[in-house]
Amino acid sequence: MMSLLPWVGLVAGLGGIAYVLTGVARGYALRRGMLDHPNERSSHATATPRGGGVAIVAVVTCAALVLGLRGALAPAAAIAWCIGGVLIAAVGFIDDRRGLSPLPRLLAHFVAAVLLLVAAGGLAPLPWPGEPVDLGPIGLALAVAAVIWSINLFNFMDGIDGIAASQAAFVTGGATLLVIWQGSPGAHTLMAAVVCATSLGFLAWNWPPARIFMGDVGSGFLGFTIAVCAVLTLAEGAVTLWTWIVLHGLFLADATTTLLVRLARGERFYQAHRLHAYQRLSRRWRSHRSVTQLCWAINLGWLLPLAAVSVAYPEDGVVAAVAALAPLFVAAALVRAGREERAG
């Protein structure tokens, strides 16, 4: 267990650095004309600088590198954070600048996912009522798919001002608090706190109305880093998979519902669209701020308490996860996530 007090100022300082670097990135984007122009699939109405996610990438990667060099992170874990994260960010950066076909993106995501699971040294048994379940090779295959899904989840859900950075800050911040509550924080918990702080530093610029977007370079990176935090804290035994699923429930329910509906309709799921529940609500309410605030309310008022239940009673974590996500899936369906707008 690490001492917390020496790290509080450091984490806050890294959040401040992310804030400053986001401002620098905004100025660079404005000078270079790197603007995200509205189109028929956009949820914003004015041209906005993009690429601000590089600030998050830079600070988080440097933190992981320093912790790796100091021996706080195992070499394999540091490689997963740095090499895997930079690979995902690089693919996102290329996609932001000139577009990239799905196959090379998927290949990069697969490589990063394998690096992460190698770093974790496998998977811990899945907590289950009665006794834990060892999923073996099937579990590893599912874990690779889950990491790839997490990366793409943030790409899909980064569609209105403030929502992706808010979600990243909540998930990693919530996990940090719950691990500290359990009294078992380690280097991977510290990295989760760093992701939270840098997301908040960026969010100060991205809060509605956004002055800069993170772009795929940031959204994919955040999706990957949350997967890294989850897999490596699971390896430590600090929290269970169910805790991470509960914390991430809002994005999981919206994105999964939308994906399944679009697949059932025979649509190309990887093409950009505006059919997520949060996007439909933002148009219905004519407000990005209201939807992002609703996400914070659901996360803090509903999901965080149930995540705490999953930590206090890990053998019943699956019950907490079902209780947490079931209403969110129903809500996404009621908002008609994945379905085209009704005429008139």
Domain boundaries, the chain: 5-241
Instruction: Note down pLDDT in tens along the chain; length 344 residues.
Output: 556 667 788 899 999 999 999 999 999 999 988 887 776 665 666 888 999 999 999 999 999 999 999 999 999 999 999 999 999 999 999 988 888 888 899 999 999 999 999 888 877 777 787 777 887 888 889 999 999 999 999 988 998 999 999 999 999 999 999 999 887 788 889 999 999 999 999 999 999 999 999 999 999 999 999 999 999 888 777 788 999 999 999 999 999 999 999 999 888 766 778 889 999 999 999 999 999 999 999 999 999 999 999 999 988 899 999 999 999 999 999 999 988 776 54
Instruction: Name the token pair of 3.
Output: 């001492």
To which H or E segment does residue 116 belong?
A: helix 102-120
Cis peptide before 137 (omega within 30 of 0): no
Compute, in degrees rounded to 10, the torsion defined by CA atoms 158, 159, 165, 169. Answer: -80
Distance CA 134, CA 126 (A): 6
Is the Cβ–Cβ distance between 172 and 247 less than 8 Å?
A: no
C-alpha separations of 11 from 4, 101, 194, 216, 306 in Å = 10, 36, 6, 24, 26
* Residue 165, SS3 per DSSP: helix
319 closest CA partner among 130, 65, 80? 130
Instruction: Name the token pair of 85.
Output: 């994260």
Distance CA 51, CA 54 (A): 6
Distance CA 175, CA 309 (A): 13
Residue 120 has a CB neighbour count (10 Å cut-off) of 23
Q: Where are the beta strands (DSSP E) in the chain?
A: 35-36, 48-49
What are the backbone dihedrals phi and psi of residue 272, each rounded to the nearest 5 degrees, phi first? -65, 145
To which H or E segment does residue 136 belong?
A: helix 136-157
Distance CA 254, CA 169 (A): 18
Produce one character per residue of 67-99: b if its CB has 16 or more CB atoms within 10 Å, e if not: bbeeebbbebbbbbbbbbbebbbebbbbbbeee
Distance CA 20, CA 197 (A): 13
Instruction: Name the token pair of 310.
Output: 């999953």
